Amino acid sequence: MSLATGLIACLAAAAHAAETPAAPPLPQDPPEPAVQEIRLEDDSIRIEELRVRGQTVSAKVKPKGKAPEYEILLGEPGRDLSPGAASAKAGAGQRVWRLFSF
């Protein structure tokens, strides 16, 4: 009886060792964000807007006259771009002109 018990124990151990555990699934790459380039234009100005995942991340204003083009810096959620803490224009963004280009 002890021979049969030992044989069964060895076979059970061998069967358990032969089973390989299932590999965890590989993490999937997140999908590429939806990017939109929007151009609005009239007789005197052109606005180029870049949206990523539905949020505007960049806006460039290009006047058609002699005025220089400028960019509007838009704050990230939770980031205050206003010059003062109690500014009424906290969500409006800041205008920035490029002085040099290399």
pLDDT for 44:
93
Q: What is the pTM of this model?
A: 0.54
For 100, which DSSP code? Answer: -
Q: CA–CA distance from 39 to each of 62, 72, 83 (Å)?
A: 11, 15, 29
98 vs 81, which has greater pLDDT?
98
Q: By C-alpha distance, which of 42, 79, 41 is closest to 57?
A: 79
pLDDT in tens, 26-76: 788 888 888 999 999 999 999 999 998 888 888 999 999 888 999 988 766
- pLDDT over 90 at 97, yes or no: no
